[in-house]
Chain A
Amino acid sequence: MKKLAQFLFCLSVLSLLLTGCGDKKASTSGEGEKKVYKIAMVSDTIGTEQFILQAYNALVASSEKNGFEYVSLECSDTAMYLEKAQAAAEDGYDLIVGVGWAAAEPFSELADQYPDTRFAVIDTTATNEKVTSIGYNEAEGAYILGVMVATAFPNDDLFGYVSSYQTYATYKYRWGFEQGVLSVNPNAKFMYNFTDSYSDTAKAYEFAMQQHAAGANFIMGGVAASANAGIYQAALEEAEKGTPFYTSGLSVDQTTADNPYLAFGLLKNTGNTMNYIVDNFLAGTLEGGPQILGVKEGGFGVYHITTESMNFVNTDIVTDEVIAAGKAAEAQIKSGELVLIAPSEE
């Protein structure tokens, strides 16, 4: 027992010493002339989840530029969204940004209880008008992708798409993609399959294989950024057999030299969205209620069209002609010539 006590004592001394080395107190408080804002981000555990990481990185960069305090509150279960957001509101945070659907309901509740705190949610819609809800016009990005794909595969009339759930949220992608393809090739037909899961990689793989067997040379990957891996794997395997098909990525830049068949990528820019919220908040122009960001606002887009480039460009498929077609579609949307709002699903 005595030995154990000694050991524990040594450990605690050691830990105190270590603390001295690692202590780095950030002095973010400005010299008192203006209030230092406190901004919290509430999300699922970030880890390698690119979709949340983008928003987090944007928050960190903005904090360095604009000199506000920030904190990231990660939730390992959905009950924590209420607990952590409420705790932050109690602590006097000025703006609390939630990422993902689990934030919508608790934030709607809290916005009434804490009138001095601003609440915003990304990629979902809160019922309370006091909460800023940022959604995306996915149809615009999907349209550009459709135009590019139809240009890249001029001899094809059948296009595949593997998605998660059959809901309005995914319908916006389907509808936009269809419109884009049809604007180039009016005879095009489409094939859809739903994995009924955001994580079922194996099902995504099977559906991709089936759609390719049925004659689709392009299969849009729409399950989730990570579960799309099943489709990408199928593309690699089919290419090895000498019958390649091509596919597209979701939300973040997934193109890589390791898989040239993953030729396109849709972009849901949570980083830009975070900047949009924070900048408007700091300028005092952040409005409540639902707001839709599209191609024009930099919220949603297509890699290499609305962004400078992408990780890897397969120049056999993404030719100058394809890029030009994509750019033209982007210009049409940006100028307001083309208005894309997915109708409610029939």
Chain B
Amino acid sequence: MKKLKLEWLKAFRAPLIAVTIGLFFGGVVMAFSGTNPITGIIALLKGGYGSTYALVTTLTRATPILFAALAASLAWGSGYSSMGAGGQMVLGALVCAIIAPLVPGPGWLVCLVSIAAAVLTGMAWSLLSAYISERFATSLLIITLMCNYLADGIASYFTTYVFKDPFGVDASAIQTQKLTVGVLPKLIGTYSLHTGFLLALLAAVLLWFVSRKTRFGYQAKMNGLNVNFARYGGVPSVKMMLLTLLICGGIAGLGGAIEVLGTRLRYVDGMITSPGYAWSGIIASLMAGNHPIGAIISSIFLAGLTTGGATVERQLGVASEVTLIIQGIITLLITAQLVIKWKKGEKS
């Protein structure tokens, strides 16, 4: 029991140090812009988590980040460095926004069909990059990254030319038609938090269950820990890779659909890429050591930084870019730690 507790503490140590140093440098930047860093950091945390409004906004922003983090945690935890969550989310969101207005019938049916379409799209897109990477023995990291740009371009094209909102009053708004049925219900009054957040939590628990209690989960984990050992133990590597990335794509596609059905109610050009949900998701997953439950905490933390940054900007006049600096430092430290781990592994 005691050992287990220590393990937990260990898992939290690295991200906590990274967060502390990140916040510290955030404070330094605040000091340079003429704000007391201590009040600044307190305002940042309070603005991110300290009131109903702040918390609700943070959880809303955390929802797509968590989906991306879950996709990343499965992929990275299984030893596949996939960056593809972004593109899969974009296409999932786009397809969901296109399909939803076409489905007749009650809201739940619209929701179900459009989500299913988005999941399939995410899967297909992920499978494409996995196939290319496998077939031509190229780096999955590069292929998925390139596929993200491709996906964004495709989505941009279709929203600009084919599915552009015919009822739009402002021609410069590049977006699809607004949904009226099949919208995910809000959780608290008129605040932006929607049931999609609960779905994200559910997905995290499910993924955790799969990774702990199923054969697939075990094989995936072994694959991630040591691919040679896994192969030697009889884990079919190609099939494993395709299956893992297929599920990742499905999760990311789902995340895109939830963002459409929960917050924007349409696809707006750049709605997934410009907030960097997928990037934050990958950082969140790495912070949590690719643990699905840990990813819940880190996703909420990262989302809170953005919300809190807005408060600091509003109340203290500090540029909200300070949160980007904090996030950047955390990312740097976490990835540096990964590199050190790899180096150590290579030596031994």
Inter-chain CA distance A8–B24, complex, in Å, is: 8
Q: Are B171 and A104 in contact (CB under 8 A)?
A: no
Residues of B contacting A283 in the complex (Cβ-Cβ under 8 angstroms)? none
Q: Could you tell me if A74 and B320 are in contact, using CB atoms closer than 8 angstroms? A: yes
Is B109 an interface residue when CB atoms closer than 8 A count as contact? no
Q: Is B274 located at the chain interface by the 8 A CB criterion?
A: yes
Cβ contacts B90-118/A at 8 Å (1 or 0 each): 00000000000000000000000000000
Residues of chain A contacted by B24 (CB below 8 angstroms)? 8, 11-12
Q: Which residues of A contact B314 (CB under 8 A)?
A: 40, 71, 73, 84, 87-88, 91
- Which of the candidate stretches B30-38, B79-87, B199-207, B327-335 sits at the interface with the other chain? B30-38
Cross-chain contact A11 with B171 (CB below 8 angstroms): no
Closest CB in chain A relative to B212 CB, distance in Å:
34
Q: Which residues on A sit within 8 Å (CB–CB) of B256?
A: none
Residue in B closest to A87 when the chains form the complex, CB atoms: B310
Kindly report which residue of chain B lies nearest to residue A127, judged by CB atoms.
Answer: B169
Residues A86 and B31 in contact, CB atoms below 8 Å apart: no
Residue contact A83 to B274, C-beta cutoff 8 Å: no
Q: Assess whether A104 is in contact with B173, with CB atoms less than 8 Å apart.
A: yes
User: Lowest 3 A-B CB distances belong to which pairs?
Assistant: A22-B34, A167-B171, A15-B31
Which residues of the partner chain B approach A24 to less than 8 Å between Cβ atoms? 34
Q: Report the nearest A residue to B269, measured CB to CB.
A: A78
Does A124 count as interface, using CB distance less than 8 angstroms? yes
B293 within 8 A of A: no
- Across the interface, which residues of A come within 8 angstroms of B307, CB to CB? 83, 87
In the assembled complex, the Cα of A86 lies from the Cα of B310 at a distance in Å of 11
Given A84-B314, A196-B160, residue A23 in contact with residue B36 (CB < 8 A): yes
Q: How far is the CB of B259 from chain A (nearest CB, A)?
A: 9
A101 interface residue per 8 A CB criterion:
yes
Q: Does A168 contact B (CB under 8 A)?
A: yes
B170:A79 contact, CB within 8 angstroms: no
Additional pairs, 4, CB under 8 Å, beyond known A16-B36, A74-B320, A83-B192: A12-B37, A22-B35, A71-B313, A80-B275
Q: Quick one: closest A residue to B178, CB to CB?
A: A105
Seen from chain A, the residues whose Cβ lies within 8 Å of a Cβ on chain B are 8, 11-12, 15-16, 18-19, 22-24, 40, 71, 73-74, 76-80, 82-84, 86-88, 90-91, 101-102, 104-105, 113, 124-125, 127, 165, 167-170, 196, 198
Q: Among the listed A22, A78, A83, which residue makes an inter-chain contact with B310, where contact means beta carbons less than 8 Å apart? A: A83
Q: Which residues in A have their C-beta under 8 angstroms from that of B53? A: 86-87, 90
| Residues of the B chain whose Cβ atoms lie less than 8 Å from the Cβ of A196 | 160
Q: Residue on A with the closest CB to B167?
A: A127
Q: Choose among A19, A77, A165 the residue that contacts B270 (Cβ–Cβ < 8 A).
A: A77
Q: Contact between A12 and B310 (Cβ–Cβ < 8 Å)?
A: no
Q: How far is the CA of A265 from the CA of B319 in the complex (A)?
A: 33
Query: With A8-B24, A16-B31 in contact, do A73 and B313 touch (Cβ < 8 Å)?
Result: yes
Q: Are B27 and A12 neighbours in the complex by a CB distance under 8 Å?
A: yes
CB < 8 Å neighbour of B170 from A8, A125, A170: A125
18 contacts between A and B (CB under 8 A): A8-B24, A12-B24, A12-B37, A16-B31, A19-B35, A74-B319, A79-B263, A79-B271, A87-B54, A90-B53, A101-B172, A101-B173, A105-B173, A113-B190, A124-B173, A165-B172, A168-B171, A169-B171
B88 at the A/B interface (Cβ < 8 Å)?
no
Hey, what's the 0/1 contact readout for B182-204 against A, CB within 8 Å counting as 1?
A: 00000000101000000000000
What is the minimal beta-carbon distance from A86 to any residue of chain B, in angstroms? 7
Q: A164 CB to closest chain B CB, in angstroms?
A: 8
Interface residues of B (CB under 8 A from A): 24, 27-28, 31-38, 53-54, 57, 61, 160, 169-173, 190, 192, 263-264, 268, 270-271, 274-276, 306-307, 310-311, 313-315, 317, 319-320
Q: Which residue of A lies closest to B319 (CB)?
A: A74
Give min CB distance, A324 to chain B, whole Å. Answer: 35
Do the beta carbons of B310 and A77 come within 8 Å of each other?
A: no
Alpha-carbon separation in the docked complex, A168 to B164 (Å)? 14
Q: Determine whether the beta carbon of A86 is less than 8 Å from that of B36.
A: no
Complex Cα distance A41/B28, Å? 27
CB of A79 within 8 A of CB of B169, answer no
Question: A73 to B310, Cβ gap below 8 A?
Answer: yes
C-alpha spacing A165/B269, complex, angstroms: 15
**Cα distance A91–B307 when bound, in Å?**
14
* B275 / chain A contacts, CB cutoff of 8 Å: 76-77, 79-80
Which of B35, B57, B274, B319 has a CB less than 8 Å from the CB of A87? B57
Q: How far is the CB of B266 from chain A (nearest CB, A)?
A: 9
- Given the known inter-chain contacts A73-B310, A83-B310, A87-B310, please indicate yes or no for A23 contacting B171, CB distance below 8 A: no
Q: List B contacts of A12 (CB < 8 A).
A: 24, 27, 37
Question: Chain B residues near A124 (CB, 8 Å)?
Answer: 169-170, 172-173
When the two chains form their complex, are residues A11 and B172 in contact, meaning their CB atoms are under 8 A apart? no
Task: Name the residue of chain A whose CB is nearest to the CB of B273.
Answer: A77
Contact of A11 among B28, B169, B319, B320 (CB under 8 A): B28
A80 to B324, CA, bound (A): 14
Whether B37 lies near A19 (C-beta < 8 A) is: yes
Could you tell me the distance in whole angstroms from the C-beta of B183 to the nearest C-beta in chain A? 13
Q: What distance in Å separates the Cβ of A249 from its nearest Cβ neighbour in chain B?
A: 19
Contacts of B190 in A (CB 8 A): 113
Bound state CA distance, A12 and B274, in angstroms? 33
Task: For the complex, give the distance between the alpha carbons of A109 and B268 in Å.
Answer: 16
Are A78 and B34 in touch, CB under 8 angstroms?
no
Residues in B whose Cβ lies below 8 Å from that of A73: 310, 313-314
Q: Report A336 CB to chain B, min CB distance, Å.
A: 27
In the bound complex, how far is the Cα of B171 from the Cα of A16, in angstroms?
A: 49
Residues from chain A with a CB closer than 8 A to the CB of B192 are 82-83, 86
**How far does the Cβ of A74 sit from chain B's closest Cβ, in whole Å?**
7
Tell me which of A19, A74, A165 contacts B171 (CB under 8 A). Answer: A165
Chain B, residue nearest A169 (CB)? B171
**How near does chain A come to B70, taking the closest CB pair, in angstroms?**
20
Whether A86 contacts B170 by the Cβ 8 Å rule is no
Please report the C-alpha to C-alpha distance between residue A76 and residue B277 in the assembled complex, in whole angstroms: 13
Q: Using Cβ atoms and an 8 Å threshold, which residues of chain B touch A80?
A: 275, 306, 310
User: Which of B54, B190, B263, B317 gathers the greatest number of chain A CB atoms within 10 Å?
Assistant: B190
